């Protein structure tokens, strides 16, 4: 009577073990994998003045463009500056203002702007940006920015030292610009649209087309290249193109990852994809390290002594590490990413040495992946 329950328990345990041994791949929403043709941001830029600084603005002698802009602004406001022989102020700074105009931005919407100094201003804290037109690539004004600047960084300086955190010469104005011109784009009158993959790949593009067709129950999507999936609105549907995109953007697709190793030699960062494989190869790593430590000792004569002088006695300690404890390791064929990392860590190598080892394995033809050096 106990055999059948025991058999069920063993069967359940084997199924759980098999599920844990099977690699689990993450699926992503379609909206996170592609962007829609024509639905994108546009960059805006403008030149303006920041006032109200506490003596941390531009030195007009070193930044003549700030003085010219200040005089031109005062002239437009009816203030005569022609008779002024020299304007001296350190509370004004010339800045560049940038912003991203989102798609389908309507007139009157507010967008965030970034502000950065152009001259020798030291700090933008407490400053207020005056009315600044923001231009697009076509030279037209699409937004106007103005408002108080929020600066995350700070700087302080004394007679014998200084401290700074972040960048006090740049800041941000949340909702600091008002959209004045719209970019016309009618998505409802479109019957065909292209989906651009953020990470181009043949397999991922085909999976996206298959998932869309399965979701809609019709052959309306097809891959044209590893970057583009063409989506057509079905003839017999009552959905408009925006409604159709809303319906398919939640479709789950499993993206395919290329075998790639990304290396940043400056910071020692290594990122390896899950599909990285290594053929059978032997690895040895050893370095000669010489460490010299200086610990001088001060020798002084006894108190109230009439003879003797204070002397510094040098002490030097030299340690030499030849790496003789390192061993030759064997990395078996077609190991997984976890096994590769465990094998390299077992050799006692750090990130810097691991970069050299990966490049040497690639040069030997044993690394079945692409190496990208940032």
In the chain the domains, ranked by start, together with CATH numbers, are 42-151+164-179 (no CATH), 186-253 (3.30.70), 261-287+323-373 (no CATH)
Of 194, 263, 257, 199, nearest to 230 by C-alpha is 194
Please give the pLDDT value at position 285.
60
Q: Which residues contact 261 (CB under 8 A, 6 or more apart)?
A: 270, 271, 272, 273, 276, 358, 362, 367, 369, 370, 371, 372
Please give the pLDDT value at position 13.
38
In tens digits, what is the pLDDT along the chain, a chain of 374 residues? 444 444 443 333 343 334 333 444 578 899 899 998 878 899 999 999 999 998 888 888 888 888 888 888 888 888 887 665 677 788 999 999 999 999 889 999 999 999 999 989 988 999 999 999 999 999 999 999 999 999 986 666 666 666 767 788 999 999 999 999 988 888 888 889 999 999 899 999 999 999 999 998 889 999 999 999 999 988 888 888 888 888 898 999 999 888 888 888 777 788 877 777 777 767 666 654 445 565 677 777 776 666 767 777 777 666 655 555 555 455 555 566 566 667 667 666 677 777 777 788 788 787 778 888 87
Please give the pLDDT value at position 90.
87
Strand partners, 147: 129
Exposed, middle or buried: residue 73 (CB in 10 Å: 0-12, 13-18, 19+)?
middle
Q: Model's pTM, two decimal places?
A: 0.65
Q: Are 100 and 120 contacting, i.e. CB atoms less than 8 angstroms apart?
A: no
Give me the residue label for tokens 């290329």. 258
Strand partners, 150: 172
């Amino acid at each position: 009577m106990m055999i059948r329950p025991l058999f069920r328990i063993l069967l359940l345990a084997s199924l759980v073990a098999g599920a844990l041994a099977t690699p689990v791949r993450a699926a992503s929403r379609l909206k996170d994998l592609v962007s829609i043709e024509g639905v994108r941001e546009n960059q805006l830029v403008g030149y303006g003045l920041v006032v109200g600084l506490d003596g941390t603005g531009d030195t007009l002698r070193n930044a003549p463009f700030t003085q010219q802009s200040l005089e031109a602004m005062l002239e437009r406001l009816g203030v005569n500056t022609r008779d002024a022989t020299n304007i001296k102020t350190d509370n004004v700074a010339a800045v560049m203002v940038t912003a991203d105009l989102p798609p389908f931005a309507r007139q009157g919407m507010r967008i965030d702007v970034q502000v950065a100094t152009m001259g020798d201003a030291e700090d933008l804290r407490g400053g207020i940006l005056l009315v600044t037109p923001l231009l697009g690539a076509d030279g037209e004004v699409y937004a106007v920015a103005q408002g108080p600047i929020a600066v995350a960084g700070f700087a302080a300086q004394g007679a014998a030292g200084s401290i700074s955190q972040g960048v006090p010469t740049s800041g941000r104005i949340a909702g600091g610009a008002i959209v004045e011109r719209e970019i016309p784009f009618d998505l409802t009158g479109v019957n065909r649209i292209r989906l651009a993959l953020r990470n181009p790949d043949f397999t991922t593009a085909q999976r996206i087309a298959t998932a869309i067709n399965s979701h809609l129950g019709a052959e309306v999507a097809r891959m044209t290249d590893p970057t583009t999936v063409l989506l057509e609105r079905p003839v017999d549907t009552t959905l408009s193109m925006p409604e159709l995109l809303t319906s398919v953007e939640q479709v789950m697709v499993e993206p395919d990852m290329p075998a790639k190793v990304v290396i940043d030699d400056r910071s020692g960062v290594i990122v390896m994809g899950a599909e990285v494989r290594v053929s059978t190869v032997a690895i040895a790593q050893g370095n000669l390290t010489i460490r010299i430590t200086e610990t001088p000792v001060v020798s002084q004569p006894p108190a109230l002594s009439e003879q003797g002088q204070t002397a510094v006695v040098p002490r030097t300690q030299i340690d030499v590490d030849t790496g003789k404890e390192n061993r030759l390791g064997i990395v078996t064929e077609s190991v997984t990413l976890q096994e590769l990392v465990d094998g390299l860590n077992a050799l006692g190598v750090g990130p810097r040495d691991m970069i050299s080892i990966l490049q040497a394995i690639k040069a030997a033809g044993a690394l079945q992946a692409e190496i990208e050096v940032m």
